[in-house]
Structure 1
Amino acid sequence: MSFNPIVIEKGLYPGFTRSMLEYNKARAINPGIMAAAMEIQSNGAYEKLGWLGALPSVKQWVGELNAKEFNSYDYTIKNLDWATGVPINENDIDDDQTGALSMFSAALAQRIMVHPEKMMFDLLINGDSDLAYDGSAFFADRTAPNDNLLAGTGVTLSALKTDLISALVAMAKFADDQGEKLNARGNMIVCPVALQFNFESLVYSPADPTATGGVDTYNPFANKFTVIGDPRLDADDSTDWYLLSSREIVKPLIYQKRQEGRPRLEKTPHTKTWVYSADYRGNGGYGIPTLAVKTVNA
């Protein structure tokens, strides 16, 4: 087979598009961490998200309507370029008898599609130092009652049960920037893989796994949470975990999308090497801190 880049593009690019569509369908069924991220379609180099301040609360309308303006926040998410690629030698294309090159399209599409998930985990890991829209660290010992950085009591089933209750109660008591109680209910546990199976036992069992004496006790956590374990959290700290609320309109995390993934095929000058790559534009950022709690174990 003689090398024809136009023919190669026509073979590779549709495979990339198909893989992207298939991954989008799978994510719609099982969004994972992306369920806790509000997706924003960006139309420029950046988006200014000063509107993250709370809406005015509802009060009795007596006389002239008292319309309170948003608090003024200067929070901007800049879109970045992200890319991945693989070199292809013309000889490999000429000699390909198995169709192995077609796997590159699926592999590149997968890399592009899972990258936003990586950004969301990185946001959680760095949340005790990176700033939210209000200028404080996303996870911080904030002014009462909005302290969303809690001390844990351990990683046994009993300790996780105790700390999960503490995180749920703390989140329910959080208030917006106008003092209105949010009554937010955490429904997603994000944890290291080292804790995943304990959490799954704790929240998926119909009976309370911490009950003693063999008593079949009702489990108030049963079927009320999604548990997501990820090894990136193990690499950071295998005992810290997060409670998130993904039910609100504005969510704890933000995925800002500027440009969908797209493939490219470019020749390296004066060589027989071509680079088959894919790139996209976008970025991640923080949404509402009071929809997230980090529990830290010493």
Structure 2
Amino acid sequence: MGVNTPSDFPYHIVNAARTTFNKEFREGQIDETWKSLCTEVPSTKSKEVYAMLGATPKMREWIDERLPKLIKEYGFEILNKKYEASIAITEEAIEDDQTGQIMLAIRDLANEARRFPGERAMEVLVGGVSAECYDGQYFFDTDHSEGASGTQSNDLTLELTSDNLATVRATMLRYKDDKGKPMGIVGDTLIVPPELEKTSLELIGATEIARYVASGTDSAPTINVHRGKYTVIVNPFITDVDSWYFACCNRPTKPLIYQTRRAPRFITLGGTGSVSDDWFNSGVIKMGVDARFNIGYGNWRYCIACVPTS
């Protein structure tokens, strides 16, 4: 049986690491419920420009000839960004690793590559109170207006209660297109911080909801009209513990756009059969993952922010 020499280490460890990374990236148990908020769009260049087409014409009785209507366009671009995470492994760490810690670190790297876009998605969503979307307004704003829509708001200050959830649902259902016609958008998802997980699960799971009168005493409970209607996404990257979001994720158009230019890839410096300068000079292998993507805003009508005032 042959004996590994120092120059063999890079080759063998890199092969094992690549196999481990790819397997964990495919099979790792990572929460990706955030993807339901996003329209996934493949990108082919440094940035993509979205026309953000206006309202689709409503059906009408066909009399004589068709009446095509021009669709208004709003220019909006999303610039791709590069992201990376890298580690350096010494020769001594390779020699002394008797418990598989290096491969555990590689598995963590693979899981981080899948987890990170979800963090960015939540940062973008929460940041919508001060970031512009296609219509030139903040994504969450009180005075959106397009064509004949009138002024509309998706920036509310309501706490998460049964009555307020009904109000938010009705608000979304009433949103109009740029022709002044209701779009009938039915919300189906609650996005909450961990502090509101219990409240949100009770709202969609309880058979009955307690009612309160002005004196603060309980009155007879009523049937919970929200039971089973919504999916709950609990995310720790919602930093305001009282804020919650209501979204429609059941249509082709989503609140966010997940634009992917290059999927996560595992790369190494050295270790492909020849001794790299890093390995020769300092006995170090460098490995990492990188990706190129960005997340931007879709149609504001598909998400409502509820940020209670203090």
Structure 2 residue 13 is matched with structure 1 residue 5: no
Identity of aligned residues (%): 25
Equivalent position amino acid for 1:148 in 2: N
CA shift in 2, pair 1:209/1:272, >3 Å: farther
Aligned residue among 151, 154, 157 for 1:148: 154
Equivalent position amino acid for 2:191 in 1: V
- Helix, strand or coil: the match of 1:189? strand
CA shift in 2, pair 1:101/1:136, >3 Å: same
Q: How does 1:18-29 map to 2 (within 5 A)?
A: 18-23=23-28
Q: Cα distance, 1:227 vs. partner?
A: 1.6
Structure exhibiting the larger radius of gyration computed from Cα positions: 2
Provide TM-score, normalisation by structure 2: 0.85
Q: For the Cα contact (< 8 Å) 1:51–1:70, is it kept in 2? A: no
In the alignment, which residue of structure 2 is the partner of 1:256? 259
In 1: Cα distance, 2:260 partner to 2:86 partner: 20
Q: Cα distance, 1:297 vs. partner?
A: 0.7
The one-character-per-residue Cα deviations of 1:189-218 (angstroms, maximum 9, x if unpaired) are 112212221111121112224478685642
Provide TM-score, normalisation by structure 1: 0.89
Equivalent position amino acid for 1:282 in 2: F
Structure 2 residue 22 is matched with structure 1 residue 17: yes
Q: For the Cα contact (< 8 Å) 1:141–1:148, is it kept in 2? A: yes
Q: How does 1:89-168 map to 2 (within 5 A)?
A: 89-142=90-143, 143=145, 144=150, 146-152=152-158, 154=159, 160-168=161-169
- Helix, strand or coil: the match of 1:232? coil
Q: How does 1:149-188 map to 2 (within 5 A)?
A: 149-152=155-158, 154=159, 160-188=161-189
In 2: Cα distance, 1:209 partner to 1:102 partner: 52
Q: Cα distance, 1:136 vs. partner?
A: 1.1
Gaps of 5+ in 1: none
Q: For the Cα contact (< 8 Å) 1:145–1:174, is it kept in 2? A: no
Equivalent position amino acid for 2:17 in 1: L
RMSD of aligned Cα (Å): 2.1
In 2: Cα distance, 1:210 partner to 1:78 partner: 48
Q: How does 1:277-288 map to 2 (within 5 A)?
A: 277-288=288-299
Q: For the Cα contact (< 8 Å) 2:32–2:115, is it kept in 1? A: no
The one-character-per-residue Cα deviations of 1:78-111 (angstroms, maximum 9, x if unpaired) are 1111111122112111222222111122111111
The one-character-per-residue Cα deviations of 1:238-293 (angstroms, maximum 9, x if unpaired) are 21211011011111111111211111122574422222110111110111100111
Q: How does 1:228-267 map to 2 (within 5 A)?
A: 228-233=233-238, 235=239, 237-266=240-269
Structure 2 residue 304 is matched with structure 1 residue 293: yes
